[in-house]
A and B are shown apart, each in its own frame.
Chain A
Amino acid sequence: MPLTMPPADEAVLARRAEIVAALRRMVPGEGVIASDQAMRPYESDGLTAYRQLPMVVVLPENTAQVASVLGYCHREGIKVVPRGAGTSLSGGALPLGDGVLLGLAKFNRIREIDFDSRVAVVEPGVTNLAVSEAVEHAGFYYAPDPSSQIACTIGGNLAENSGGVHCLKYGVTTNNVLGCELVLMTGEIVRLGGKHLDAAGYDLLGVVTGSEGLLGVVTEVTVRILKKPPCARAALIGFPTSEDGGACVARIIGAGIIPGGMEMMDGPAIRAAEDFVHAGYPLNVEALLIVELDGPRAEVDHLLDRVQDIARACNAVTCRVSNSEEERLLFWAGRKAAFPAVGRISPDYYCMDGTIPRAKLPLVLKRMQELSAKYGLRVANVFHAGDGNLHPLILYDANKPGELERAEKFGADILLLCVEVGGVLTGEHGVGVEKRDLMPAMFSESDLDQQQRLKCAFDDKSLLNPGKVFPTLHRCAELGRMHVHEGRVAFPDIPRF
Chain B
Amino acid sequence: MADNLTPHDTAEVERAVQWALAEGKTFELVSRGTKRAIGRPAQWDATLDLSGLSGVLLYEPEELVLSVKAATPLAEIEALLSASQQQLAFEPMDYGPILGAPPDAGTIGGAIAANLSGPRRIKAGAARDHFLGVTAVSGRGATFKSGGRVVKNVTGYDLCKLLAGSWGTLAAMTEVTVKTLPRAETEESVLVFGLDDGSACRAMTAAMGSFADVSGAAHLPAAVARRMPQAAGGNAAATAFRLEGVAPSVAQRKSLLQALLSPLGSLDVLGESDSHALWRAIRDATPFAADGPAGGRDLWRISALPARAADAGRVLAERVGAALLYDWAGGLIWAALPASADAGEPLVREAAVAAGGHATLIRAPAAVRAVVAVFAPEPAPLAALTRRVRESFDPHGVLNAGRMWAGL
Contact = CB atoms under 8 A, between A and B. Distances in A.
A207 interface: yes
The bracket for how many chain B residues form the interface is 35 or more
Contact of B156 (A188, A190, A389, A439): A439
B79 interface: no
Nearest to A211: B157
A206 B5 contact: no
B151 A447 contact: no
A358 interface: yes
Contacts of B253: 296
Nearest 9 A/B pairs, CB to CB? A206-B161, A299-B249, A256-B182, A200-B358, A457-B388, A196-B357, A489-B22, A427-B152, A453-B392
B166 A497 contact: no
B395 A203 contact: no
A373 interface: no
A431 B156 contact: yes
B168 interface: no
A206 B161 CA distance: 5
B21 A227 contact: no
A171 B129 contact: yes
A428 B154 contact: yes
B12 interface: yes
Interface in A386-444: 387-389, 422-431, 435, 439, 442-444
Interface stretch (A12-20, A40-48, A114-122): A114-122
Interface string A135-169: 00010000000000000000000001101000110
A392 B249 CA distance: 37
B156 A198 contact: no
B21 A482 contact: yes
Contact of A387 (B115, B150, B382, B388): B150
A492 B5 contact: yes
B22 A454 contact: no
A191 B159 contact: no
A190 B6 contact: no
A486 B392 CA distance: 19
B357 to A, nearest CB: 4
Given A161-B158, A227-B210, A492 B15 contact: yes
B376 interface: yes
Contacts of A429: 154
A195 B155 contact: no
A31 to B, nearest CB: 25
Given A196-B331, A491-B19, A161 B159 contact: no
A184 to B, nearest CB: 7
A256 B252 contact: no
For the residues of A in contact with B, the DSSP-based class is: loop
Contact of B307 (A117, A163, A469): A117
A167 B179 CA distance: 13
A237 to B, nearest CB: 18
A495 interface: yes
B156 A167 contact: no
B404 interface: yes
B152 A167 contact: yes
A489 B18 contact: yes
Interface string A50-68: 0000000000000000000
Contacts of B185: 256
Nearest to B248: A298
Nearest to A470: B156
Contacts of A199: 115, 165
A348 B306 CA distance: 51
19 contacts: A168-B151, A184-B385, A196-B356, A205-B161, A207-B157, A210-B158, A230-B211, A257-B182, A258-B181, A295-B245, A299-B245, A299-B252, A424-B148, A425-B155, A448-B156, A450-B393, A453-B392, A489-B18, A495-B52
Interface string B131-170: 0000000101111111011111111111111101110001
B386 A296 contact: no
B392 A206 contact: no
A287 B266 CA distance: 53
A446 B144 contact: yes
Contacts of B56: none
A172 interface: yes
A494 B331 contact: no
Given A207-B158, A303-B246, A424-B153, 8 more contacts: A197-B303, A201-B375, A202-B170, A206-B162, A358-B62, A449-B144, A454-B162, A495-B6
A444 to B, nearest CB: 8
A472 interface: no
B378 interface: yes
Interface in B366-380: 375-376, 378-379
Interface string B4-28: 1111100010011011011000000
A492 B150 contact: no
A490 B15 CA distance: 9
Contacts of B151: 167-168, 355, 387-388
A448 B142 CA distance: 11
A382 to B, nearest CB: 14
Nearest to A254: B62
A194 B155 contact: no
B16 A454 contact: no
A452 to B, nearest CB: 9
A285 interface: no
B156 A487 contact: no
A242 interface: no
| Chain A CB within 10 A, most for which of B156, B160, B185, B253 | B156
A175 interface: yes
A359 interface: yes
A200 B395 contact: no
Interface string A456-496: 11100000000001000000000010111111111110111
A490 B21 CA distance: 11
Contact of A453 (B122, B126, B208, B393): B393
B392 A457 contact: yes
Contacts of A448: 156
Nearest to A486: B22
Contacts of B328: 197
